[in-house]
Amino acid sequence: MEIKDLTICVLMCGGIGSRIITNSKISKRAIEKPLIILKNKHLIEYIIDTLINSKKGFKIIAAVSSNTKQTEDFIKDKYCNKITVLRTNGKGYSKDFTSVVNYIINAFPSGEQEKQDLHNNMFLANEKPSMDYSKIIFLPIDLPLISTNTIEKIAEIKQKTPLISIVIDKKIVIERNFLPTPYTVHIDKNDYCHTGISVLGLASFKNLNKDLPGNHIEEENIIFNDPEFAYNINTIDDLKRTEEFLEKI
């Protein structure tokens, strides 16, 4: 049987979200960033619904941590069998990224490893993948306007390198009164901001050791200049600007 080009989409939702929580006066208690309300809807629901609406049959994994226990409960209660929950240590994007990749590469084929992970409460799956996956798309939960069509276009990129980073022209971000990320790259005399979206080709990592940070990963920056990437919610001001935009459409 021919194996299709299948994609795992990982929602990175285990961070603290300190900038928006520190500035938030929405509630007397800290609100986990994925659960902040944007126009009567939780922030994380936007990206989840975008993925579920795709006809590509994405396998969706939510990478949570001890920082986002309420988010974990929300996902399990609302989305049940549609999303797999993976617990990471929540001590930084790089470490969480590595945990997810190591699990997908090393744990999926092993029944014994699966039992051990379930015992350690690392992997809270409703189901286990039974087919080979070709790539992982890592998605932040703070890009609520990203469309299903855009995610599908990203999934269809033919990779020349093991890792792809999606970037947007810095001018587009500034034009919409958002603060550009400090993580920029210079391409053809223009500055581009990282969107936080990356694509990992799994075939390139089959023979790597588990200690991924110790391996050099060849990376290519791919430009997507759709304004939807500019609406990156990191502060309460970002949230207000996005709400104002949604009210107009």
pLDDT band at 212 (very low <50, low <70, confident <90, very high): low
Question: Residues of the chain with pLDDT > 90: what percent?
Answer: 54
Report the DSSP pairing between strands 184-187 and 190-201.
antiparallel
| pTM score, whole prediction | 0.84
What lies within 8 Å, CB to CB, of 17 at 6+ separation is 32, 33, 34
In a domain, 213, yes or no: yes
In a domain, 239, yes or no: no
The CATH number assigned to the domain holding 110 equals 3.90.550.10
Instruction: Tell me the pLDDT tens digit for each residue of 115-156.
Output: 444 434 444 444 444 457 889 999 999 999 999 999 999 999
Instruction: Tell me the pLDDT tens digit for each residue of 24-65.
Output: 454 455 789 999 999 999 999 999 999 999 999 999 999 999
| Cβ proximity of 135 and 157 under 8 Å | no
For the chain, what is the largest distance between any 2 Cα atoms, rounded to a whole number of angstroms?
A: 56
Beta-bridge partners for 165: 198, 221
In a domain, 53, yes or no: yes
In a domain, 183, yes or no: no
In a domain, 142, yes or no: yes
What lies within 8 Å, CB to CB, of 48 at 6+ separation is 11, 60, 75, 79, 83
Distance CA 98, CA 209 (A): 11
Quote the number of domains for the chain: 1
Q: Which residue has the higher pLDDT, 51 or 108?
A: 51
| Cβ proximity of 73 and 124 under 8 Å | no
Distance CA 85, CA 110 (A): 18
Distance CA 169, CA 142 (A): 18
Distance CA 96, CA 213 (A): 11
Q: Which domain does 73 fall in, by range?
A: 7-167+196-227
In a domain, 75, yes or no: yes
